[in-house]
Structure 1
């Protein structure tokens, strides 16, 4: 065989071997890409995303779209060719697998965690929206969860309303821990609670739960070599709303839709059409006081929003620099730090006067 032919054949075989290795050799990476967007003023799956009952609502127009990111599953093993393609693709991002699934987290665990965060974001969005409208919301401290095999198991239950600890009224979740750790391990602590079933019935009736019982629990020593006393609960906050607010959206997780849910609720409860018919998308966590927080996957969300037709994108202040470094053509970033900021910016967008509209910069 002529040397040139042999060299070409060897090169071809090496190329095929490398290609096969690239296809079959897994690499420890995952991929993020733009996900679907949903108009919080519209419908999903044939049902309104936001449904308000027991209170007058007003017509809306335009779009207030929440945005999402698709990620590869925890069990998916990306090969080298896919990773290289993802690195070269403009709209996708390849990240280390542990970034999305740290410490060996399974897909089921991640889904459950995202579902819990999504549920909490809905609650926070409702509170933030009503507070923005100066509508009173009743809040109370509750047992958010009970740790298995701890003294509180079968004595306290998720949803129990905590009125007092050792006779001292509690006004915030952190008050519970402060009162428990005053004890030494082995001492008794007395909780004054409204049982979860009674609290749920009162909430369904739109009333503040009443009627309490005392529960005595013996503290134990915290794990990890710590000497502080614990009973094995996580305290949280629950609310009674003056009217019904339901958020209906399946197959979505995480906390990043909070801002857009809150704005959608405000829009439905006020006569002014917040967008003036414009297509606005956005993202951001929100707390009960209306503070907007940063999210992950901002670049993919910008692409998803623009692909859906958005003209403006409400961007959390702490995501602004990353967002401004690569903005899709035709999309204007609007910096927001609170729900009040967002409402003010939407009024400017609605009026068509964009002077003074807070913008994001890459610096």
Structure 2
């Protein structure tokens, strides 16, 4: 072999090796793709997604499916450049910077824990919204989420404590509790009525001056609920709050006679608060693809997500705009009966 041919061969081999090696290099991106789709009025692995105990339920049919987004990559498990390039060429996949999913100030474990907590909260607020829509009474509960390190409340008010009163006045909500504390002069004592794992007691905490000069004790609160019967939601290893709307619809459907969908295949997404308001979510493009693959023909879309959804909707999938649980139910009723207006989700 001539020297020139040998040089070209070696150069070609090195170029190929560099190309292969470069394609395998880890990059700080995450691939988002359509994840599992589960029917909230159906079963997962033989177990109902929604189980109601202590209240009459009714048989139903059709689909009210929650949709998810799967991810690949992240700190400690980065994807290769070739995987990212494939994703950029696939319209059903999104490739986003790593910090979009995993903020630099959080570990992977912290992000996953946050997603799990958001799912648990979503199940609570979804149940509250459904019962509110059905005019079934329940209690709003102010719960201690955490206390600030070094604050007067640390060690006195414990995570999970239910605050029932402040200075003898019933606690009707987080803002009412905060306002009752702010009425004090910094340095005053404030007495919390607390339900701690079923044991009622008074806890006295000294206030201090907050950043705005008003009295604080350093407690962080959250809302929880006491329902008149048990609602259990089981979807496996899924996190985040975006299934809230579909949970509420599934609960509503099980607690009312006749199938809400009329047997139709409906999917959707959106967060849900205890008042029945639907909020925006991420990954709408991937969720629509997952819904279409699962056989859905109608997709309930938070109004804030409508522009992005309308620009990428798969053929054969009808987008319905929703802002509230009540509005979603009315839209489904109109679709089922063929009468009434159905809000369209447009760009």
Give the TM-score of the pair, scaled to structure 2: 0.92
Residues 267 and 12 of structure 1: CA distance in aligned 2, closer, same or farther (over 3 Å): same
Paired residues of 1:174 and 1:235 also in contact (CA < 8 A):
no
2:261 partner SS: coil
- Whether the 8 Å CA contact 2:33–2:70 is kept in 1: the answer is yes
Residue 29 (structure 1) aligns with: 29
Contact 2:35 2:67 in 1 (8 A): yes
CA contact (8 A) 1:293 1:337 kept: yes
User: 1:59-117: per-residue Cα shift (whole Å, max 9, x none)?
Assistant: 10011000111112442112222211111112111101000011242221111101111
Q: Which residue of structure 2 aligns with residue 204 of structure 1?
A: none
Would you say how many aligned residue pairs link Structure 1 and Structure 2? Answer: 345
Aligned partner of 1:357 among 321, 326, 342: 342
Matched, 1:69 2:69: yes
2:266 to 255, 258, 280: 280
Q: How does 1:153-232 map to 2 (within 5 A)?
A: 153-183=154-184, 185-193=186-194, 195-198=195-198, 212-220=200-208, 227-232=213-218
> Separation in 1 of the partners of 2:94 and 2:185?
50
Task: Name the counterpart of 1:40.
Answer: 40
In 2: Cα distance, 1:185 partner to 1:76 partner: 49
Q: CA deviation at 1:260?
A: 0.3
User: How far apart, in 2, do the equivalents of 1:354 and 1:320 lie?
Assistant: 23
Where 2:33 maps in the other structure, the secondary structure is strand
| Alignment partner, residue 239 of structure 1 | 225
TM-score by length of 1: 0.88
Displacement, 1:226?
6.3
The SS at the match of 1:102 is coil
Does structure 1 retain, via aligned residues, the 8 Å contact 2:140–2:173? no
Deviates more, 1:137-146 or 1:79-88: 137-146
- Matched residue, 1:255: 241
2:188 and 2:45 mapped to 1: Cα distance? 53
* Structure 2 counterpart of 1:209: none
Bigger mean CA deviation after superposition, 277-286 or 242-251:
242-251
Whether the 8 Å contact between 1:146 and 1:156 is mirrored in structure 2 is: yes
Structure 2 runs not aligned, ≥5 long: none
1:303 aligns with 2:289: yes
Change (3 A) 1:281 1:5: same
CA contact (8 A) 2:67 2:291 kept: yes
Q: How big is the shift at 1:126?
A: 0.6
Give distance in 2, aligned partners of 1:238 and 1:50.
19
Partner of 1:110: 111
* 8 Å contact from structure 1 (residues 257, 283) kept in 2: yes
Pairwise mapping of residues 318-329 of structure 1 onto structure 2 (< 5 A)? 318-329=304-315
Residue 280 of structure 2 corresponds to 294
